[in-house]
Amino acid sequence: MKPDPALDVTTASGETLQTSRHQALDATTAASEHPTLDRGLPERGTRFRALGNARYSLADEVGRGGLGRVMSARDELLERTVAIKELQTQDASAQRRFVREALITARLQHPSIIPIYEAGHWNDGSPFYAMKLVKGRPLGTAIDEATTLPARLALLPVVLAAIDAIGYAHSEHIIHRDLKPANVLVGEFGETVVIDWGLAKDLATEDREALDAGPYRNSADNGEHTVAGTVMGTPTYMAPEQALGEEIDERSDVYALGAILYHVVSGVGPHKGKTLDQMIAQILGGKVIPLAKHEPRVPPELAAIVGKAMALDRNARYRTARELGEDLRRFLNGQLVASHHYTIGQRVRRFVRKHRAPVATGAIALAVLVVGGVIAIRQVLHERDTANSQRDLADLRAHKLQLADARDTLANDPSAAIALARPLAATDWREAHVPRVRRRRSARPRGRR
């Protein structure tokens, strides 16, 4: 991997240091007066100790920044390859910042934050720390290589992993203050790592060693690099309050994460300008080109997530990166996104798409029930009509037999004949004769009366 001048670290920025934070602050105080970080310290203070140059065999440089450089190295004791970040200046302030960066990142125990293995200083007194070496590429490079929307959307799980890492840091009251695609590494085996915690700040304590942000001032920089000592962060992804040098909190990181999401979805950064002043003016004015103009096919739920994360008013944003991650995870899982307003029709369509197989099965079952019900009803009606016809036919036959018996009996026993005919009402007689009358009428030739 070629060194990236925009990065302070291109392979790491990690975790797990064996000195406590308050003890190490004693070491940073001593470092301002004693560049070797080892002389004049109280006995109770645990500090970066002299490790000499024998344990680690330095190899190639893999990254360089304003404070130091990162080298791949061989750990001769444990026989493994590691990354070594070392300070390249004897300036006391730079040494304090370097030690502070190691202490903060060492506290953050998360799979997407590189662990620090050891910290110490070389024989010449310059501090360093050893960490896991991750081989990969910056997220910005992956975005540039993804030339279609589907290819860029495939990077959303990478962004989600970075958001989860920042969400964890926020739970520890640590804000990063310099989030950008260049500080998110995509490893060769699917790992995602957030690097470069040099501008991080501890919100839970009086973080005296943190660089203080000040009002923005013009620079010849193109906006893609970290601006240290003036505005804390990288202007392209910077929250408005951060650009003004105001007090910031977790919501400023949320804005930067939203800007990274914007870049992933659209393929371009959210703010562009010929000068940093122009870019800062866009940030302060909340002038962000809607995602739909860059990419008309962007899902509206995803556009809503980006819009809420990058809201000009920090109170309208997600409170922490964890809240942002929960909404993005719901989007990736096909669930309803909290930041998007859904119509009833959209909810129904989403339900049908999400439960396509059960809905199709239910529709088929309903159709079968309806058709079967119609057929059953028609069969019942047909059987009823058939039964009624058979009953009427049986009644008619009974009437005929009873009338025949009455006629046969009439000559010999009129009283018996009357008794046989009495149960038949006049209507029954007429109905009994209707079929015969109809047959007689139908048998007449047409035209005769």
Catalytic residue annotation: 178
SS (H, E, C) the chain: CCCCCCCCCCCCCCCCCCCCHHHHHHHHHHHHHCCCCCCCCCCCCCCCEECCCCCEEEEEEEEECCCEEEEEEEECCCCEEEEEEEECCCCHHHHHHHHHHHHHHHHCCCCCCCCEEEEEECCCCCEEEEECCCCEEEHHHHHHHCCCHHHHHCCHHHHHHHHHHHHHHHHCCEECCCCCHHHEEEECCCCEEECCCCCCEECCCCCCCCCCCCCCCCCCCCCCCCECCCCCECHHHCCHHHHCCCCCCHHHHHHHHHHHHHHHHHCCCCCCCCCHHHHHHHHHCCCCCCHHHHCCCCCHHHHHHHHHHCCCCHHHCCCCHHHHHHHHHHHHCCCCCCCCCCCHHHHHHHHHHHCHHHHHHHHHHHHHHHHHHHHHHHHHHHHHHHHHHHHHHHHHHHHHHHHHHHHHHHCCCHHHHHHHHCCCCHHHHHHHHHHHHHHHHHHCCCCCC
Beta bridge partners of 73: 58, 82
Angle in degrees, 0-180, between the axes of helices 426-443 and 356-410, rounded to the nearest 10: 100
Residue whose structure tokens are 């009606």:
381
Which structure tokens are listed for 1?
């991997």
| Straight-line distance from the first to the last Cα atom of the chain, in angstroms, rounded to the nearest whole number | 115
Q: Which residues, 6+ apart, have CB-to-CB distance to 154 below 8 Å? A: 146
Nearest 10 degrees: CA dihedral of 225, 226, 232, 235?
A: 10
Classify residue 127 by burial, with Cβ atoms within 10 Å: 0-12, 13-18, 19+. buried
